[in-house]
Structure 1
Amino acid sequence: MTLISKLRSVNTTLSHLIKTFHLVWAASGYWTLAWMVMLLLQGLLPAMSITLTREAVDNLVAVSGAGLSSESIQKIVTPVGLMAGIVVVMELLNAAGEWVRTAQSELIHDYMTALIHKQSVAVDYGYYEYSEYNDKLDRARDGASGRSLALLESTGSLLQNSVTLVAMAAVLIPYGLGLPMILLISAFPAFSVLLYISKIQYRWSQRTTSDRRWLMYYDYLLTNNTTAAEVRLFDYADYFQSSYQNLRKRLRREQFNLLRLQTLGRIVAAIIALTITGGALAWMGRQVLLGILTLGDLALFFQAFNQAQSIVKDLLSNLGKIYRNSLFIGNLFEFLQIQPKIIDPPSPVPVPTKLKQGIRFRQVSFRYPGTKEPVLENFNLTLPAGKIVAVVGDNGAGKSTLIKLLCRFYDPDSGSIELDGIDLRHFSVKAFRRLVTVLFQSPIPYYTTAGENIALGDISAASNYSEIQAAAKASGIHDKIKRLPLGYNAMLGKLFPEGSDLSGGQWQRLALARAFFRRAQIIILDEPTSAMDPWAEHDWLERFRTLASGRTAVVITHRFTLAMRADIIHVMRAGQIVESGSHDQLLALDGLYAQSWKSQMQADSSNPVESRIV
């Protein structure tokens, strides 16, 4: 490592240390102040105790053979009593320290977790679609509260040991100016080993981040209720268990190799330190035998040198820990510095309360970051206000990308998406998204009460029971909820006690209720009936137009039974609209839509129940 790189490393460590202290102070200011005062006291008391030890030994030698006179006893009791008082104070400080550290730990954990949660929501949706971001998130979690507190404790120990070491040096210097240098030299090998191992451990941790996420994934597959059925039916257990164990075996072997290297380095460093210490003690013993020093001096030197050497080791060890933890906590700061690209303009335009013209894609081109092929290129589409528009097409046509762009999870590379003639980028992101409600293809099952599940559709509004019921009736889930043991107060899902599970179609209906409860102007439904059986789908379709009345609805679907009820149908293929019109118009056109319709009707003719519903 060159001098410049070393200076950069020191500068980075100091920068991380300062940032960490700011975060810790923001999380636990008064507790941190109390912690610093205790560090100062704990740093001074050991030197005071050693000084009293010399006085006690010298006084004992002086009064030896003088009998049990009050004067003799006083010379012994006074320093011993003060030493006992110091021991009591140190124990009280240790007990108080545990209390302070616990309070700090809890406050710092909550503060750091809140920072990560806030940043996780603030970053663009697109980050979640890339492995690199997930690696950064996992590293940030690893470097959050635990590493921050460890860095703080290492810094605190460094300060405490520095105070103690200065006091010890003041005690030892009268016996020779070279003794403090001997202390540093004896601890330097252990410090070098610690720095070397810390750097290797950090590089190993960075390199194996994805491996540890694989372990979490295998654990999820083997223990989660959503995967339990397939794991048992297709007998995946041995395969996933073997994959987990093989990966764990490799990581465990690499960890043991690091531990072996660390142990060997520490043994060599300990032998060097022992040799130096033995030489210093031999010199001190010679001075006592020559009558140059007293027994009190020998007791003081032995305790001071022994403790000072231990303190120097701890001090250098803390420097190493600070260096190592600063490397890891750097991941947290790197994560917190991620800046979203989907942001508000300097002067946002007010969002219209009701759509008048609708939404228009104008010459939109878009490719996902890191890919070469565009999903959309010079794409044009109009979604009239107050109309139900269906978008149909084969997989990979770009339908899901439309949803992401409409929700402004991404911005187009070129062209514009306009709401009543205004580019979406001119609106506040949050204000615009308030206009939109979406039922995604795989809705999330929220494990809370049925009523709260629906109310989550609009958490900014007061939870009105009648409106919650209206949304549930509109989506067709009301009757199921009423049959639950506690009705709308029933806990859903099996993750928590007394929860009631729903079928896939029922979860989808619940998500529909949540979408309708939002009262948004723009409704986006991605395969809204994909998990419903034909009877349930027919029941829902009968109410669909009433639900969408006065709103602009965009329906992504493969089902013609749903598409045919739209005002306008757009057929999408390879990132372009190839056909548009009503159901009857597209059948008369006898193009791609008509051919697909005929193929589905022929397939449905073998199912009399579904053909009657159609």
Structure 2
Amino acid sequence: MRKPDLSRENVRAWAVRARATVDLLWSAAPLWTVLWLALLAVQGVLPAALVALTKWVIDAMNMAVGMGRSWDTVEVVAVPTLLMGGVFLLQRVLGGVIQWVSVAQSEYVEDYVTNLVQQKASTVDFEFYEAPEYHDLMEQAQSQGTTRVLQLIQNGGSLLQTSVTLFSIGVILIGYGLWIPLALIVSAVPVLAVVLYYNRQQHTWWTGATPRRRRAQYYGILLTTMQSAAEVRMNRLDGPLIRGYRALRERLRSERLVLVRNQALGRFGAAVVSLLVTGVVMGWVVWQAFAGDATLGDLAAFYQAFTQAQTVTGTALTSAGAVYANSLFLRHLFDFLDLEPRVVDPPGPKPFPAQLTEGVRFEDVTFSYPGTTRNALEGFSLEIPAGKTVAIVGENGAGKSTFIKLLCRFYDPDQGRVTVDGTDLREFALADVRRRTAVLFQFPMRYQMTAEQNVRLGDPDVDPESPRFREAVVGAGADALVDRLPKGEETLLGRWFEGGVELSGGEWQRVALARAFYRESPLVILDEPTSFMDSWAENEWLDRFDHVAGDRTALIITHRFTTAMRADIIHVMNGGQIVESGTHDELVEQRGRYAESWATQTRQAGFEGRGDGAPARELAPPPGPNA
């Protein structure tokens, strides 16, 4: 069996994590921690007090035998007996108080650690969520962080209490011979080695198995959530998914069982060594009694002290191993909390304009995602004039999503710059950029909250009494939807909670649009805003949008040319570049990529053309209900 890795680097890393854990505990619950430590110290001394009192009681009873029935005889036995009873009672009382204090401390710590993780998750760079190694770290931090901190507190408290007990009992055992505490230490060494080694093995296995655990969890999500239920049934995916889940779980289970088996064998060997040492020590004590060098009280006290010392030593070693193991697991939590974003505020941020006067420009921007070699954008330049509605169209993979991420400053360009009214986006505070930019993402969140909450989440800082809620739902074409809900704007949306009402895809999209419009921002970005709407709903919404946009600068990313044609300027993207620009009529006349795609879309939609690609009359069925 290999020795635990106790190199200087590992010991230093362990010490750093230990210090970080103490700081965390002190920050979360300082008063509860002081009280907890004091109570544990007192509780740790009581077993040694009982050992000393046991010797006193037995020697007193031995002395009282044959002295007759008198108060002096009773007094000799009563005093140590009452003291022993008091110590027993104090142990029980302290046990209950320590449990209460420990629960209170754990509640504060759990909330504190959870809050740290949530705050860090909301501030790390966006790239965190687009890399598998970061998902592994997130899973490790979330699944083990809070649990391991609480376990570390519990194990650390146990180690403190047992250490105090061992020291107290050791003082008693030294009176019988200096070598006896040393024998205890010798018997503990194999146990400690086994505990440390296999705890490190457990951590190494757990870390390496993280991708397999996440994959198994993913299969479980696919098999049990509504989002995938339809495809799982229609494509009969339950069999392959269940088999994949079982295969992963079988591998994880077999690996863990091998670890547990080896650990059990190691502990058995260590227990044999401990038993041999115990036999030697107890044989020596009995021999001393035969020689008349020990009283009956000495025998009883020694037996109780030594056996209790062995029990406490085992508990202390287990606690020490658990502290070591939990500190290894806590590395992932601290690694996560130590993540530093690269997209940060400048030293002296400039104020983001309340109203754009020049507009947004991409100036020779080149960008590639971290961990990739292919440029998503290369030498990309584009102007979005202030107060205009600009549409970006293009095939999937053309770079439209990357364009939005840079504009929201989820990433910074590798080369070039993005400017707002001539100022580099990196010169504004991140919070200011995002507060002044309203975005509808391609796949917006469906918050399982009321209709009003869904919309007001667009800007939590707005006064609830503001009339902006109604203005936003009207602008998004969601007013009729909200009005016909069972409880109006107080209706719970979604089916995750009791009493919720599910919406169609188009209705959810209108709610998300209202959320984007709720924010009074000079820049509006809409990614596929009409993708879930039918043609009649799309036309109605576009009519409203012209009014809602007002003097805002609006950017619409869309595959629908019927949406793009209403914009002041249309840009066609391909391969990370703008390849065509102009109004709808101008682009149709150019007979390039846009005109070709426009002709294809109009034919598929059922239009008769005039020959130049422009629609003449619609052949679709009469208007029906909105999506």
TM-score of the pair, normalised by structure 2:
0.95
The range that moved more, 475-484 or 109-118, is: 475-484
2:104 is paired with a residue whose SS is: helix
Match of 1:111 in 2: 112
1:200 partner letter: Q
Q: Deviations over 1:57-76 (max 9, x none)?
A: 11111122333322222212
Question: Do the aligned partners of 2:4 and 2:200 also contact (CA within 8 Å) in 1?
Answer: no
The range that moved more, 448-457 or 304-313, is: 304-313
Match of 2:574 in 1: 573
Distance (whole Å) between structure 2 residues aligned to residue 274 and residue 547 of structure 1: 83
Match of 1:39 in 2: 40
What is the correspondence of 1:388-407 to structure 2 with a 5 Å cutoff?
388-407=389-408
Distance (whole Å) between structure 1 residues aligned to residue 315 and residue 11 of structure 2: 19
Match of 1:289 in 2: 290
Question: Do the aligned partners of 1:42 and 1:160 also contact (CA within 8 Å) in 2?
Answer: yes
Superposed CA RMSD in Å reads 1.6
Distance (whole Å) between structure 2 residues aligned to residue 350 and residue 604 of structure 1: 46
Q: Deviations over 1:337-392 (max 9, x none)?
A: 10001111101112111100000000100000111110111111000000010111
Match of 2:313 in 1: 312
Distance (whole Å) between structure 1 residues aligned to residue 175 and residue 254 of structure 2: 51
Q: CA deviation at 1:4?
A: 9.1
Q: Deviations over 1:541-572 (max 9, x none)?
A: 22121111101111111111001101000011
Distance (whole Å) between structure 1 residues aligned to residue 318 and residue 248 of structure 2: 32
Match of 1:185 in 2: 186
The range that moved more, 309-318 or 577-586, is: 309-318
Question: Do the aligned partners of 1:124 and 1:409 also contact (CA within 8 Å) in 2?
Answer: yes
1:222 paired with 2:214, answer no
Q: Deviations over 1:239-283 (max 9, x none)?
A: 212211221111111111111111111111112111111111111
Q: CA deviation at 1:296?
A: 0.6
Q: CA deviation at 1:169?
A: 1.3
1:284 partner letter: V
1:543 partner letter: R
2:39 partner letter: M
Give structure 1 stretches of 5+ with no counterpart: none
1:352 partner letter: P
Instruction: Point out 4+ residue stretches in structure 1 off by more than 6 angstroms.
Output: 1-4
Distance (whole Å) between structure 1 residues aligned to residue 583 and residue 572 of structure 2: 11
2:539 partner letter: H
Q: Deviations over 1:438-482 (max 9, x none)?
A: 111111100111011111111111124632122112111111211
1:554 is paired with a residue whose SS is: strand
Q: 1:4 to 1:241 in 2, by over 3 A?
A: closer
Question: Do the aligned partners of 1:21 and 1:152 also contact (CA within 8 Å) in 2?
Answer: no
Question: Do the aligned partners of 2:3 and 2:193 also contact (CA within 8 Å) in 1?
Answer: no
What is the correspondence of 1:597-608 to structure 2 with a 5 Å cutoff?
597-605=598-606
1:175 is paired with a residue whose SS is: coil
Q: Deviations over 1:464-515 (max 9, x none)?
A: 4632122112111111211111100000100001000100110001000000
Distance (whole Å) between structure 1 residues aligned to residue 44 and residue 7 of structure 2: 30
What is the correspondence of 1:361-380 to structure 2 with a 5 Å cutoff?
361-380=362-381
Match of 2:126 in 1: 125
What is the correspondence of 1:390-469 to structure 2 with a 5 Å cutoff?
390-464=391-465, 466-469=467-470
Q: CA deviation at 1:609?
A: 4.8
Distance (whole Å) between structure 1 residues aligned to residue 418 and residue 3 of structure 2: 52
1:521 partner letter: P
Q: CA deviation at 1:46?
A: 0.8
2:312 is paired with a residue whose SS is: helix
Match of 2:543 in 1: 542
What is the correspondence of 1:230-309 to structure 2 with a 5 Å cutoff?
230-309=231-310
Q: CA deviation at 1:9?
A: 2.2
Match of 2:560 in 1: 559
Distance (whole Å) between structure 2 residues aligned to residue 447 and residue 153 of structure 1: 37
Question: Do the aligned partners of 1:450 and 1:492 also contact (CA within 8 Å) in 2?
Answer: yes
2:140 partner letter: R
TM-score of the pair, normalised by structure 1:
0.97
Q: CA deviation at 1:3?
A: 11
Question: Do the aligned partners of 1:375 and 1:575 also contact (CA within 8 Å) in 2?
Answer: yes
Question: Do the aligned partners of 1:143 and 1:330 also contact (CA within 8 Å) in 2?
Answer: no
Q: Deviations over 1:208-258 (max 9, x none)?
A: 111111122112111111112222222222221221122111111111111
Distance (whole Å) between structure 1 residues aligned to residue 178 and residue 567 of structure 2: 92
Distance (whole Å) between structure 1 residues aligned to residue 566 and residue 434 of structure 2: 26
Q: 1:55 to 1:120 in 2, by over 3 A?
A: same
2:151 partner letter: A
Q: CA deviation at 1:143?
A: 3.5
2:227 is paired with a residue whose SS is: coil
Distance (whole Å) between structure 1 residues aligned to residue 99 and residue 218 of structure 2: 37
Q: CA deviation at 1:157?
A: 2.0
Give structure 2 stretches of 5+ with no counterpart: 609-617
The range that moved more, 184-193 or 502-511, is: 184-193
The range that moved more, 533-542 or 39-48, is: 533-542
2:298 partner letter: D
Q: Deviations over 1:109-153 (max 9, x none)?
A: 000000000000010111100111111111112342221122222
Distance (whole Å) between structure 2 residues aligned to residue 418 and residue 582 of structure 1: 23
Distance (whole Å) between structure 2 residues aligned to residue 385 and residue 25 of structure 1: 52
